[in-house]
Structure 1
Amino acid sequence: MSGRLSGAVPVRCSTVRKEFPVVGEFRGVFAGLDLGEFWDNHDYALSAYVETPPSSESVASVQAELGYRLPASYVGMMSFQNSGVPRRTCCPAPNPTTWADDHVAVDGIMGIGRSKRCSLSGEAGSRFWIQEWGYPPIGVYFATCPSAGHDMIAFDYRGCGPDGEPRIVHVDQEWDYQITVLAPDFASFVRALRPETDYDHV
């Protein structure tokens, strides 16, 4: 079975839906993307990130706590598997960052919930990075990087308001919280991710 969006996907762990109701806007946004192969469900990913798929009530609760409407494409993707570690971990960047001259790295995408440490409302969730690490309050920090907190990826709501469609930005704590725009929306960010081997320069 291929795991394509058009049908059922293989069950890789108990927190992944056997069937994914892909309808309307979400089908078009991620058409052709193999979500069954998107995630690398190793032990650390399952223990620190992956929660059960969110209910409409849990989505509403987390949004109310954070003060922002989460992108529909993100909510839809989390209803397939609620967070984890992507297999493709590199996103092209238009300017140098502390990680590299031409890309940033992603080592986890947070899910909608509170039970896992790396969830939007978990122990190391979005508010933690703002309150404890001094990250600018531009929106919701939803993806971690391999630097152990010295750079993060966020939904940036400054240009659209709390109910709009946020840009995806990289925030570099080591460079005075420099903000670099990576993608106009979450779906574009997901599609932009590349394998690490693409950046193996000889």
Structure 2
Amino acid sequence: MARFDEILATFWAPDESYGSQPALTDEAVREAERVLGVTLPSGLLELLRVRNGGVVAAGHRVFRTSRPTSWDEDRVPFETVLGIGKPGLMRSLLDSPYLAEEWGLPSPVVILSGEGHWWIALDYRECGPAGEPSVTWFETDFDTELALAGDFRTFVEGLTPS
């Protein structure tokens, strides 16, 4: 398993701009944390400073699971990551409160990736808004969830090729 700092250089799909937001600024991070009411994990912010959301490289697009999901027998997809952007331009981490309410997700969560029937999110229910969130898979059609990793860095280190 590769370490987080080794993955950082190869995490984003080269020559892919789909889903990318403008370059991340300290001001945008402060505003996002204010709007979301949580402290975002440092590992996520490190990735978003390289590229502010978008398509994940083929070598990091799935996460192995301990049980089957509606998506697969032993894995879930992680092909894109939401960046931090202005509302209305394209979906962003700032849409998490709306999406969580719309799709019946618990609160507080910050959605990293998904498409409605499933989401992968930072889960702040146990750690509180200033803590280190776990990463959880939510299936809205079946009202189920599956803990994927205890923190964001561990989640990224567990990603494998699709």
Q: Same fold (TM over 0.5)?
A: yes
Alignment check: 8 A CA contact 2:135 2:148 kept: yes
Deviations 1:2-29 (A, max 9, x none): xxxxxxxxxxxxxxxxxxxxxxxxxxx6
Matches within 5 A, 1:118-129: 118-121=91-94, 125-129=95-99
Residue of structure 2 aligned with 1:185, choices 138, 151, 154: 151
Amino acid at match of 1:70: L
Deviations 1:48-70 (A, max 9, x none): x2112211111010111111110
Residue of structure 1 aligned with 2:134, choices 167, 171, 191: 167
**Which structure carries more strand by proportion?**
2
How much does 1:41 deviate? Answer: 4.7
How much does 1:111 deviate? Answer: 0.8
Alignment check: 8 A CA contact 2:22 2:52 kept: yes
1:62 aligns with 2:32: yes
Match of 1:117 in 2: 90
1:143 aligns with 2:116: no
Q: Aligned partners of 2:26 and 2:8: how far apart in 1?
A: 24
User: Using a 3 Å threshold, how does the CA distance of structure 1 residues 34 and 67 change in structure 2: closer, same or farther?
Assistant: closer
Match of 1:89 in 2: 61
Match of 2:4 in 1: 30
Report which of the two structures shows the higher radius of gyration computed on alpha carbons: 1
User: Using a 3 Å threshold, how does the CA distance of structure 1 residues 34 and 165 change in structure 2: closer, same or farther?
Assistant: closer
Match of 1:105 in 2: 77
Residue of structure 2 aligned with 1:152, choices 93, 107, 119: 119
Deviations 1:18-43 (A, max 9, x none): xxxxxxxxxxx6332252x3222566
Which blocks of at least 5 consecutive residues in structure 2 are unaligned?
A: none
The CA RMSD over aligned residues, in Å, is 1.8
Q: Aligned partners of 1:164 and 1:120: how far apart in 2?
A: 18
Alignment check: 8 A CA contact 1:98 1:174 kept: no
Amino acid at match of 2:121: A
Q: Aligned partners of 1:92 and 1:32: how far apart in 2?
A: 19
Which blocks of at least 5 consecutive residues in structure 1 are unaligned?
A: 1-28, 197-202
Taking only the aligned residue pairs, the percentage that are identical comes to: 32
How much does 1:153 deviate? Answer: 0.4
How much does 1:131 deviate? Answer: 2.4
SS of the residue corresponding to residue 38 of structure 2 reads: coil
Q: Aligned partners of 1:41 and 1:127: how far apart in 2?
A: 30
